[in-house]
Structure 1
Amino acid sequence: MSELSYPLWRNAPAPTLVASRDLESGELVFPALSADSPLIRQHETVPLAGVGEVYSFTVIHPSPKSGEAPYALGYVDLPGPVRLFGRLCGKPRPAIGDRYAAKADKRFGYVFEAVQG
C-alpha cells in the first residue's frame, strides 16, 4: 500500500478499513485520525464493515492517448453509517444497490470489489 500519514487499514484479525468515532456524537470520520491529531482524545478508532451498497457512480472514459481502459468511480454506503468514494472494480458497469467490498490497493489505498451473489 502507499505510505500515508494516517491509518486506512487494520490488519488483524482480518484486513478492514478503520475510521474514528466521536465519543459524544457517534459520528464517524474516515480515514481514522492520526495519533498526533488534537482531536484524538475525543475519538476512538473503529473498524468499518467491509461490504456496502453502491449509492451513486460514474464511468470515466480516459483519453485514448492515456492507454487506460474505462473505469467506474462511485460512492459506497457502508454500515455505520458512512459513505466512501472510490474506484469500483470487478464489473464493467456497476448498478445502484450493487454490493461491493473494500479491498487494499497499492496504488489507491483502497478500492471496492464487486461481491458476487
Structure 2
Amino acid sequence: MPELSYPLWSSAPEPALLASRDRAGGELVFPALPPSSPLADRHETVAVDAVGEVYSYTVIHPSAKSGEAPYALGYVDLPGPVRIFGRLCGKPRPAIGERYAVRPDERFGYVFVAVQH
C-alpha cells in the first residue's frame, strides 16, 4: 500500500477510520486533512463510527481477461454524518439501507463489510 500524507486509521487497539471535523461548523471531511494542509488549523482529527448504511452502489463487471470477479462499489453513510465511497464486501449484491462496517484492507486501505444480523 502506498504511503499516505494523511492518517487513515487511528493507532488504537481497535483501529478507527479517521476524518477531519471543522472546529466552527462541525462538518466532517474524509479523508482526514494532512498537517501540511492550509485548512488543518481549522480542523481536528476524529474517529468516525464504524457502521453505516448503504446510500448507493453499483456492481462492476471487469473484463474476463482481468480474471477479476464482479464486485460492488458504493457510498456508505456513517454517523457524523459523513458519506464515504469504497468497496462493498460480504454479499454478491448489496441493497440500499443495508448496514456495512468499515474495516482495514491491505490493498485498498479500507473496505466495507456487510454486517450480519
TM-score class normalised by the smaller sequence: over 0.9
Shift of 1:2: 3.9
Q: State the secondary structure of the residue aligned to 2:33.
A: coil
What's the CA shift string for 1:69-90, capped at 9, x where partnerless?
0000000000000000000000
Q: What's the counterpart of residue 116 of structure 2?
A: 116
Aligned partner letter, 1:93:
R
Q: Which stretches in structure 2 are left out of the alignment for 5+ residues?
A: none
Q: Work out the CA distance in 2 between the residues paired with 1:31 and 1:58.
A: 22
Q: What's the counterpart of residue 20 of structure 2?
A: 20
Q: State the secondary structure of the residue aligned to 1:16.
A: coil
Q: Among all aligned residue pairs of Structure 1 and Structure 2, give the percentage whose two residues are the same amino acid.
A: 75
Q: State the secondary structure of the residue aligned to 2:59.
A: strand
Q: State the secondary structure of the residue aligned to 1:107.
A: coil
Q: State the secondary structure of the residue aligned to 2:85.
A: strand
The 5-angstrom pairing of residues 1-117 of structure 1 reads: 1-117=1-117
Segment of structure 1 superposing worse, 104-113 or 9-18: 9-18
Q: State the secondary structure of the residue aligned to 2:17.
A: strand
Q: Work out the CA distance in 2 between the residues paired with 1:2 and 1:73.
A: 21
CA contact (8 A) 1:28 1:80 kept: yes
Aligned partner letter, 2:30:
F
Q: Work out the CA distance in 1 between the residues paired with 2:11 and 2:92.
A: 29
**C-alpha distance 81-108 of structure 1, shift in aligned 2 (>3 A):** same
Q: Work out the CA distance in 1 between the residues paired with 2:61 and 2:11.
A: 34
Q: Work out the CA distance in 1 between the residues paired with 2:64 and 2:28.
A: 39
TM-score (norm 2): 0.96
TM-score (norm 1): 0.96
Aligned partner letter, 2:8:
L
Q: State the secondary structure of the residue aligned to 2:7.
A: coil
